[in-house]
Structure 1
């Protein structure tokens, strides 16, 4: 399906899953990613399902009903997605040309997703040297969904500083919106500063639990900001 706006597509996805339908793939792309991936103007929604024939038929019927206002696309769009979804061959030439590319994911309730998508993209686009920032919805649940952002830029100075600035800008917007600092990529060391702000006083509890169960600091030292100073 092709929606006029990302918000319209998000609302359709919400209705689908809150009616109990759980397609294996329910992935909505913003205008930038729809153009880059499929050559389409608008916001493309890719839907796939598998399993029991009756359940698949019922699931796709719900999708058809809730997406009735959007343009139906040729099934070739799905074939393109299946063929290219793991193709990263275009990245090496970009890196060689000095372009910094990365992805950041978060998760939030349905009602917050539209403004969150706009705020994070705007924050990324404001970073000096940024060329493009885009988003797609990748995992949908009854109470919310994952937004997966991609950014690329060619900084004039230190690429590491640009990369850090982009991450900080995006996660500042994420924390300000009350969204999670990670969905499935984890926190590790990259998001620690933002994790402590997002968790607030609960971070002290995490620190205490780490000290209780790992007093020697042997397990994943320094990950989540829990290092030698916490022993």
Structure 2
């Protein structure tokens, strides 16, 4: 394969030409889409150029932002998984060897710098997509993920080799670890016999004096009896 910019020969899975340093447009080579042009003024996190909007031919259609210069792609929450699901045949097995090859970053370089989200301009964090893909994406917790040029192609290969199952397992594990502990009132409401039925009053220094309460109760009862006599 040759570089689309200078014509130099590319070996292996290089996404950046070693001769002219231009990023190759491999991501959308096998994905049908149409360019809707610039809509708004969202800046590219990588090179500050204006992002364009492209629409994938899926059902329903998925629209994302793309940089025509550095080939980066910005997906709103859930859109990346929806595209992978729509464009990749369902894998019924996991190709462990292929998954390991993709995760080993062969011919792949992720620029280690913290980019700003194009929507809120907050710094995005780095996450290993799916926990084990080896593809480090930039993520804004509120607005979505940014992929550098070449990363979508690698994610599609990883998903096809069975990465979908690893991704789902990773999301389930994160859900389990973030689940809040059951409160005492919740346990009592659902009949959990292991929960103590005694009220909790914090530390012992703040516990009520039951002898005083009992004495006051007896005094009030005596006064009520005299008044009723």
TM-score bin, normalised by smaller chain: under 0.3
Using the size of structure 1 for normalisation, the TM-score is: 0.21
Q: Which has the higher helix share?
A: 1
Using the size of structure 2 for normalisation, the TM-score is: 0.21
Q: Which has the higher strand share?
A: 1
